Structure 1
Amino acid sequence: MAAFRDIEEVSQGLLSLLGANRAEAQQRRLLGRHEQVVERLLETQDGAEKQLREILTMEKEVAQSLLNSKEQVHQGVMALQQLEAALQEAGEEDTRLKASLLQLTRELEELKEIEVDLERQEKEVDEDTTVTIPSAVYVAQLYHQVSKIEWDYECEPGMIKGRGMFECHSVPRLC
């Protein structure tokens, strides 16, 4: 704005010189001043153009940065959606596994009850067989004492095998 005021001032000075007697000296002086003003105007114009180019360059960089940011946001949204879907699937799988665990826990409790019942029955059977086994052992010991036969108690059920000095005997088990 100051440059335009200076141009206006120079123009008015030139007009006043033309009307005055000392026109030639004033005209040279005003022309010198006019040249300075024009040079200043050109320098200002060059500076403005340089600043405009810098602003355009910065605008391009900002626009590119904005596009890159939008792309990153888009990718982030897609990744978030995938994570949410995976989280939902994991939640559903967790629910299925919890239901399965609950069912298996119930079955385990039932098996524990069955095991306790079987142990109780086994104790009852052991108590019942404990009463009869001593009599069978007594009979086997008596046979051994009398016949000197070594009895093999690890044979098939219902049989007791024995070995004497010369031959092998099979005797039906008494119990």
Structure 2
Amino acid sequence: MSQNDALHGDDLEKSGEALIEFIKSSNAESVLRGARGKLQEFFDHHIKTKKTTTDILNDLVHAEEGIGQKLVNLEGKKSQMMQEIEEIEQELQRNLSRSQILDSELEFLQKELERLRDAEQEIQTMQQEVDQDTTEVIPSAIYVAQLYCNVTKIKLELDTEPHILRGVYYGGDVAVPINMDTSTRSPCEVSDELWSLVNTEW
């Protein structure tokens, strides 16, 4: 080692010692501790702020999810209500159509009742004319059968078995044979089937 290097080493050591003495004699250590404390406080505050921010963001995400689910539920309810409204409107339309049909049927039945009353009056007139004009005694059952035959265009055979109804309906374009076992049907069913053959358009 040269003398010059030895001098430099001594100066550096003295300078280091002087710097250490200066640091010891000054507030540098307390300032450093204070700065470290403030830095720790700042770090703790930063951690606390970060946690608070994370909690707020999580709450916001949960709130958004809840609002989104409520919106989905509301949309579902809205869709269901719209479907129910559409069904009610369709039912109302069907009821209106049914009401119009019932009105038409009522009008038809009223006309039919009037026609039947006219027919009844005509039958009574015919009966009176026959009573006045004929001198031959006709059994009432045969007479009534002839009247029904004239009105309904159904000619029944009289010499069949008691529970067999046989005849021909000749009021249409084609004659329709009739052959029914009345023992298996009620009088109302027999009457309905016979009347179903009769043409109501006069």
Compute the TM-score of the two structures, normalised by the length of structure 2.
0.44
Per-residue deviation, 1:107: 2.4
Per-residue deviation, 1:113: 5.4
Identify the residue that residue 47 of structure 2 maps to in structure 1.
Answer: 42
Identify the residue that residue 66 of structure 2 maps to in structure 1.
Answer: 61
Identity %: 21
Identify the residue that residue 7 of structure 2 maps to in structure 1.
Answer: none
SS in 2 for 1:30: helix
Compute the TM-score of the two structures, normalised by the length of structure 1.
0.50
Per-residue deviation, 1:57: 1.3
Identify the residue that residue 92 of structure 1 maps to in structure 2.
Answer: 97
Structure 1 runs (4+) deviating above 3 angstroms are 109-122
Partner deviation per Cα, 1:36-69 (whole Å, 9 max, x = no partner): 1210221121011012112101211211221122
Per-residue deviation, 1:72: 2.2
Whole-angstrom CA distance in 1 between matches of 2:93 and 2:68? 37
Out of 81, 88, 110, the position equivalent to 1:76 is: 81
Whole-angstrom CA distance in 1 between matches of 2:46 and 2:118? 104
Taking a change above 3 Å as real, the CA distance of residues 89 and 35 of structure 1, as seen in their structure-2 partners, is same
Kindly indicate which of the two structures has a greater share of residues assigned to helix: 1
Gaps of 5+ in 2: 1-22, 133-137, 141-202
Partner deviation per Cα, 1:110-139 (whole Å, 9 max, x = no partner): 4445556777998x79xx8xxxxxxxxxxx
1:103 and 2:103 matched: no
Whole-angstrom CA distance in 2 between matches of 1:112 and 1:71? 60
Out of 23, 33, 38, the position equivalent to 2:38 is: 33
Per-residue deviation, 1:108: 2.2
Partner deviation per Cα, 1:134-156 (whole Å, 9 max, x = no partner): xxxxxxxxxxxxxxxxxxxxxx8
Per-residue deviation, 1:80: 1.9
Which protein has greater RCO, CA pairs closer than 8 Å, 6+ apart? 1
Gaps of 5+ in 1: 1-17, 129-155, 159-175
Per-residue deviation, 1:98: 0.6
Paired positions, count: 110
